[in-house]
Homo-oligomer: A and B are copies of this chain.
Amino acid sequence: MNQTNIALLGFGVVGSGVYRILTENHDDLNHREVLDLHVTRILIRDAANVRDFALAPQELFTADYGEILNDDSISIVVECMGGVEPARSFILQALRAGKSVVSSNKEVISKHWHEFDAEAKARDAGLYYEATVGGGIPILRTIMDSMQANNITRVMGIINGTTNYILTKMSEEGLDFDEVLHEAQSLGYAETDSTADVEGYDATYKLSILASLAFHAHLPVSVIPREGITKLSRRDFAIARQLGYEIKLLAIGKKHGSQIEVHVHPTMLPKTHPLAAVRGVFNAIFLTGHAANDIMLYGRGAGSMPTASAVVSDIICAVHRAGRHRYITFANAEELSTAVQLLENYESRFCARLLVEDAPGVLASVAGVLAKHNVSLRSVLQPGESDTTDARLTLLTHNAAAQSVRAALAEIAGLSCVRAVESLLHVEE
């Protein structure tokens, strides 16, 4: 059998895991997949990011990308550097040289997908990126190779492990955000600069890829509204628990005919929902298709070996499918596809928590404003105990237009009997 030579760009958490699997499992893969896979070059730019130099022979390492690009014996380039540049240029150059590219880099794929796809198609090269969403969970291949019979109408995902770890701790131990964040940072579950995770940016990159594949229309990162988890308090979790809900940072996409909504934010889910049971650093993606109905995939969304598992699976697919790679030619790849419209004023259920004056007539005033904006209430929670002149009012709405709910709450915030709108969460069932 022919030897397949592979170059790794980056030798950090993911790259070293890929090297480990390809080396340790070489004979198994040779036997089962009839493939002879070898890493023959490893590009490093910053020796400080190299996880374990001792893992690979020193002669494999290079700092000169030209040595990889001009090496015709290398047919697959694995990009696991992260960030946009130089990853973007390296990927484009590899594709132009006719090499297939496997990437675990959600940021560069979500932002430059259309460029990569056009280049890959022009050169008959493969472009694979399973590891960009859900780490070791094979969600993209499931959508592309197992759900073809379906019109997918909904994706809902817990696709950021750091935030799910924090939310699980807040829910189960009654802790506050800052407390858990510090613990997560000291355990290595959160970065020192955790903005990309806790503010939901990372989830928007992944949702862009996930929803674009599920709905067969390009949904760029720029169209995805985003809200992080930093404003959640232990009071939110206490109320969710009382109502039988969990709070999760969900990436949500829904398709209604040609209208598509996509958004990332903390969401209340009933405790009986399969996503509500996803704890700690685990990820899960829930899909609804017209034929398969509800499907959920659960697993480790990050980490060296789980992510490397997805990368190696992509490498194997890239070899097996040589000459038959599939491309995602969206109608208008750089922007939102013209065949669909973005539904910005989507409908959802909401849960709002208000700090109000503890006096008669408050609920009537609040409910009056909601009614004016066509927002109808499913239930109202007003704890009896009150040792101050303030009280807290929790409102659960029926399905209502998001913009109407926000407009109503802005008006409610201005009522003299209302001290503050303390939180507004989406609710899914």
Instruction: Give residues of chain A (130-158) contacting chain B, Cβ–Cβ below 8 Å.
Output: 130, 136-138, 141-142, 145-151
Residue contact B297 to A295, C-beta cutoff 8 Å: yes
The answer, yes or no, to whether A272 is at the interface (CB within 8 Å) is yes
Q: Compute how far the CA of A272 lies from the CA of B136 in the bound complex, rounded to whole angstroms.
A: 21
Q: Which bracket fits the contact residues of A?
A: 35 or more
Q: Which residues of B contact A151 (CB under 8 A)?
A: 25, 28
Residue contact A298 to B295, C-beta cutoff 8 Å: yes
Q: A274-B298, A298-B298, A305-B292 are in contact. Are A138 and B146 (CB under 8 A)?
A: yes
Instruction: Give residues of chain A (11-41) contacting chain B, Cβ–Cβ below 8 Å.
Output: 17, 21, 25, 28-29, 32-33
Residue contact B292 to A21, C-beta cutoff 8 Å: no
The answer, yes or no, to whether A320 is at the interface (CB within 8 Å) is yes
Copies of this polypeptide in the complex? 2
| Among listed A53-61, A83-91, A309-317, A360-368, interface-contacting one | A309-317
Residue contact B295 to A149, C-beta cutoff 8 Å: no
Partner of A147, one of B147, B289, B313: B313
Residue contact A145 to B313, C-beta cutoff 8 Å: yes
Could you tell me the dominant secondary structure of chain A's interface residues? mixed
Residue contact B309 to A33, C-beta cutoff 8 Å: no
Instruction: Give residues of chain A (186-231) contacting chain B, Cβ–Cβ below 8 Å.
Output: 216
Contact string, A277-319, partner B, CB cutoff 8 A, digits 1/0? 1110010000001111111111110010110111011001100
The answer, yes or no, to whether A324 is at the interface (CB within 8 Å) is yes
Q: A148-B316, A279-B272 are in contact. Are A299 and B309 (CB under 8 A)?
A: no
Residue contact B149 to A309, C-beta cutoff 8 Å: yes
Q: A145-B141, A298-B296, A312-B148 are in contact. Are A291 and B272 (CB under 8 A)?
A: no
Q: Which residues of B contact A148 (CB under 8 A)?
A: 29, 32-33, 312-313, 316
Q: Compute how far the CA of A200 lies from the CA of B272 in the bound complex, rounded to whole angstroms.
A: 26
A residues whose Cβ falls under 8 Å from a Cβ of B: 17, 21, 25, 28-29, 32-33, 130, 136-138, 141-142, 145-151, 216, 272, 274, 277-279, 282, 289-300, 303, 305-306, 308-310, 312-313, 316-317, 320, 324
